[in-house]
Amino acid sequence: MNHAISKLNDVVILDTAGRLHIDEELMQELKNVKSNVKPHEILLVVDSMTGQDAVNVAQSFNENLGIDGIILTKLDGDTRRRCCTFS
């Protein structure tokens, strides 16, 4: 944060390590980040393939952190595919 402030950045995005399971250690880590950084907005990014469990994850995060929004994503995990072709 000090580096961003010194460079006069308007926006700073903090990305925490993704986890497959919600546990107390994760929530405590995120609460610590929230209290130290005091973010203007908290967005939860969830893989859309988690299906209905995304709702449970969102509820848990909201209860513990007070999230402002949810982003559902779907990324292809097949490393054999290529996004671009070159001539």
Q: What is the pLDDT of residue 17?
A: 73
CB 38 within 8 A of CB 65: no
pLDDT at 20: 65
How confident is the model at residue 66, as a pLDDT? Answer: 94
Q: Which H or E run contains 25?
A: helix 24-37
- Report if residue 80 sits inside a domain: no
User: 68 and 42 in contact (C-beta within 8 Å)?
Assistant: yes
Q: What average pLDDT score do residues 42-68 get?
A: 90
Query: How far apart, in whole angstroms, are the C-alpha atoms of residue 4 and residue 22?
Result: 29
Supply the range of the domain harboring residue 8: 2-73
Question: For residue 64, is it within any domain?
Answer: yes
Average pLDDT over residues 14-26: 79
Counting the structural domains of the chain, the total is 1
| Domain containing residue 43: CATH number | 3.40.50.300
81 lies in a domain? Answer: no
> What pLDDT is attached to residue 23?
83
Residue 84, domain member (yes or no): no
Find the helix or strand (DSSP H, E) in which 65 lies.
helix 53-65
Please report whether residue 82 resides in a domain. no
Look at residue 83 and tell me if it is in a domain.
Answer: no
Within a domain: 6: yes
The answer to whether position 85 is within a domain reads no
